[in-house]
Structure 1
Amino acid sequence: MITVKNYVKPGTLEEAYEMNQKRANRIIGGMMWIRMGRGNVNTVIDLSGLGFDQITETETEFRIGCMSTLRQLETHSGLKETFGDFFKECTRHIVGVQFRNGATVGGSIFGRYGFSDILTAFLVLDTKVKLYKKGIVPLSEFIRMDRDRDILEELIVAKDGRKAVYLSERRSQTDFPVLTCAASEKDGTVLLSIGARPMKADVTETTIDEMEQAADTFTYGSNMRGSGEYRKHLGRVLAGRAKKALEEGNV
């Protein structure tokens, strides 16, 4: 567990940003994963008072605040209407409802965790992140940026008519995933994302006919949940299932 000396709930983003520039300080989201680590934190910075805990919908996009919870993703009627069961599938195996009521979207994305179902899912949508200092950046670019002490304000997801499917393989229902897979199709172009490799998720562009071959292009490694060889096999299997779902419209 971590040891915290001070707790602060800033009133403005600028105040939060300035405090976060000190290496001994840390922004917290739901603090569901951070608390499992070790070490000392001088000051934890709570963003919950800055109004980033809502999902708003317009005719063209969703804006998902960094403090929105995974449970909000799972149950939001607009996301359900636009993307079907996509967000239900990428959240329902994450521990349990109580946990998902605390874990935040911003923490999942900014942390860029290798095991993240959430990062895998958002990579196949037209997703951008809004950072306090760097502005709006495509998520696929953000995951390759060096880690810094900027603040993630919100995710912006376009309503562009794409169909998306999410799959994962686990040793038990609420365990960390052995492998995660998401795919979306729009105008004949497929985005395929694979995560828990066990490295963080990445995304590639392909076609429906080439999805299984595209899965082979990812790098797979080994850990306690599976070997690289096993994960590569799973990558083809999950990509094949995603292909079938997209072809049959089961999304």
Structure 2
Amino acid sequence: MFTIRDLVQPRTIEEAYQALVGNSSSTLLGGCAFLRLGSQKIGTAIDLSKLNLDYIKEQPAYIEIGAMATFRDVETNPVLMQIFNGVLPRSVSYVMGVQFRNIITVGATVYAKYGFSDLITPLLALDTEVELYQGGRMSLEKFLDNSYSKDILTRIFIKKNERKAVYQNLRNSATDYPILNAAVSKLNDQWRIVVGARPQRAKVATKASAELSGGNVSMETIDHAANLAAEELSFGTNMRGTEEYRKAMCRVLVKRAIMEVLPCR
């Protein structure tokens, strides 16, 4: 369990930001799903629930997701079910229990850059941008690859296009974190291959993606792309799996995802 000395519920983003940077022991509260799993003493807890960020909106060019939208919101949203082959609702549906998905927030998950995330991997396979209150708007890939000072992730934007995407994951059990996950997407002749829970955070396999892009896709190129993904990305060992096992399973998941994307229309 975690303990809180002071709780702040700001009414504006600016107020929340000032509370965040004004105290070295301040912590933003999302759904607190993962905070509850550990033991932590929080000096100033900043609750963003009063900022009206719990929404999913369809804009002309983007799907806009507020930072306080939950995994359950993503899972049941009718627009997300119909676009991108339904990859986002499907990916979060693997997270243990509806009760858990009702409290996990999109913003907290992405900002924390969790390596085991079921959501970040497919988001990275799409054309996704994040918006930070101070840092501004940037691609999700840039955000994941760089470090930033204390900031607040306010919104996520996913470009609306005809990209088709598929999510694959490997787990010891239905309620466990993934041992490895992968997402593959295709827009016209451009492919994107992403692997996460390595156990490091999700990353685009650029060489493997280039292998499939701009040409005819055959079983030979699919096998080559899956092997490239396993070779160009790094893997680690933890209690859920070894480096060697993850590397071997990367080839399997990437190949499955490519094969599943191919017939999508």
TM-score by length of 1: 0.96
Shift of 1:7: 1.2
Distance in 2 of aligned mates of 1:233 and 1:126: 28
Where does residue 247 of structure 1 map in the other structure? Answer: 262
The DSSP-based 3-state class of the residue aligned with 1:108 is helix
1:109-135 deviation line (CA, Å, top 9, x unaligned): 001011111111100000000110111
Alignment of 1:28-67 (within 5 A): 28-67=29-68
> What amino acid is the match of 1:233?
A
> What amino acid is the match of 1:189?
Q
Distance in 1 of aligned mates of 2:139 and 2:10: 27
The DSSP-based 3-state class of the residue aligned with 1:150 is coil
Q: Which range moves more in the overlay, 22-31 or 203-212?
A: 203-212
Q: CA RMSD in A?
A: 1.3
Q: Which range moves more in the overlay, 25-34 or 76-85?
A: 76-85
- Count of residue correspondences: 250
Distance in 2 of aligned mates of 1:12 and 1:123: 29
Where does residue 229 of structure 2 map in the other structure? Answer: 215
TM-score by length of 2: 0.91
Shift of 1:51: 1.1
Shift of 1:147: 4.1
1:236 and 2:251 aligned? yes
> What amino acid is the match of 2:259?
K
Shift of 1:38: 2.3
> What amino acid is the match of 1:158?
K
Distance in 1 of aligned mates of 2:98 and 2:85: 20
Distance in 1 of aligned mates of 2:225 and 2:94: 24
Distance in 2 of aligned mates of 1:89 and 1:156: 19
> What amino acid is the match of 1:7?
L
Where does residue 2 of structure 2 map in the other structure? Answer: 2
> What amino acid is the match of 2:18?
E
Distance in 2 of aligned mates of 1:17 and 1:163: 37
Shift of 1:6: 1.3
1:196-237 deviation line (CA, Å, top 9, x unaligned): 111111113312535303322110110111100000011000
Shift of 1:87: 1.7
1:7-58 deviation line (CA, Å, top 9, x unaligned): 1110111110011112201001001012222221111101111111000002
1:80 and 2:73 aligned? no
Where does residue 189 of structure 2 map in the other structure? Answer: 188
Distance in 1 of aligned mates of 2:61 and 2:228: 30
Is the CA contact (8 Å cut-off) linking 1:70 and 1:103 kept in structure 2?
yes
Show structure 1 runs of 5+ residues with no match: none
Q: Which range moves more in the overlay, 84-93 or 95-104?
A: 84-93
Alignment of 1:107-118 (within 5 A): 107-118=108-119
Distance in 1 of aligned mates of 2:96 and 2:6: 29
Alignment of 1:84-163 (within 5 A): 84-163=85-164
Is the CA contact (8 Å cut-off) linking 1:89 and 1:167 kept in structure 2?
no
Distance in 2 of aligned mates of 1:119 and 1:187: 23
1:227 and 2:242 aligned? yes
Shift of 1:170: 0.2
Is the CA contact (8 Å cut-off) linking 2:4 and 2:45 kept in structure 1?
yes
Show structure 2 runs of 5+ residues with no match: none
